Amino acid sequence: MFENEFKGKVVVISGGSRGIGFAAVKGFLANGAKVCFLSHYEETGAKALAALKEINPDYEVMTKAIDLCDFKAAQELYKEVVAKWGRIDVLINNAGTDCPTWLTKLKQSEWDAVCNLNQKAVFNMSKYAIDYLKKTKGCIINTASVAGVYGSPTGLPYPASKAAVIAMTKSMAYSFAPNGVRVNCIAPGVVETDMTAGMPDFAKKSVGDTIPMKRFGQPEDIANAMMFLASSAASYVTGACLQVDGGYRPSNLLN
């Protein structure tokens, strides 16, 4: 689909050791990119790196475990990537977390943990990437969520932070379009990842009934959308929030 589209391009992906992020890492590498992917733990990054090298030992790929909210760590990361590969073309802010606690029982620490990773990390990683992306006329792709579009009955920090990601995306797109930097986000629906693997069957069926396409998304569905937004086919797309959700709507009650 994107054969040679990303040859010579350098992509940085947070949350890249599993799920959607790992599917994106595989997709960009398979289509010629050089990829630096970030993980929370060194061991998960190393495991993912080994799996990638089994697919193709010649992949140009590296992994780092950093605090995405640490501005010094972000600066040092980009310097290292540029020293290794000479440029940065795509930043994908994919790392995120959730907390299902009901509002009246929600702890301040739980709110902070979700909003720091889901919002502050996007701000921090984007801020220090911009100068490099201006040079390459590159792009940023943020992972939002349909919860940020429609809300959610529980886990307030998650939909709140993902709505913020959508607003940040539109604002950054407005700010940096004159510099040739595009900024878009993707709002995935329900995707088969570690986050949904533990759901009981009745819950999966209940959620599945709200999806007109009658299936959960696969990580590759989201990764393909990321590659589209990073490709030349989307050269006139900026400030968009692309819902990749099988038609999901919270009020859907289809037979």
3-state secondary structure of 62: strand
3-state secondary structure of 68: coil
Task: Please tell me the total number of residues recorded for the chain in this structure.
Answer: 255
Catalytic residue among 158, 174, 236, 248: 158
Asked if residue 192 lies in contact with residue 219, where contact means CB atoms within 8 angstroms, the answer is: yes
Residue linked to tokens 């030349």: 232
Residue linked to tokens 């919860």: 147
Lookup: tokens for 87: 């440029």
Is residue 158 among the annotated active site residues?
yes
Residue 125 Cα distances to 30, 52, 239, 255, angstroms: 24, 24, 18, 44
Residues 78 and 80: their CA atoms lie apart, in Å, by 5
Residues 128 and 75: their CA atoms lie apart, in Å, by 6
Asked if residue 17 lies in contact with residue 39, where contact means CB atoms within 8 angstroms, the answer is: yes
Which residues are identified as catalytic? 158
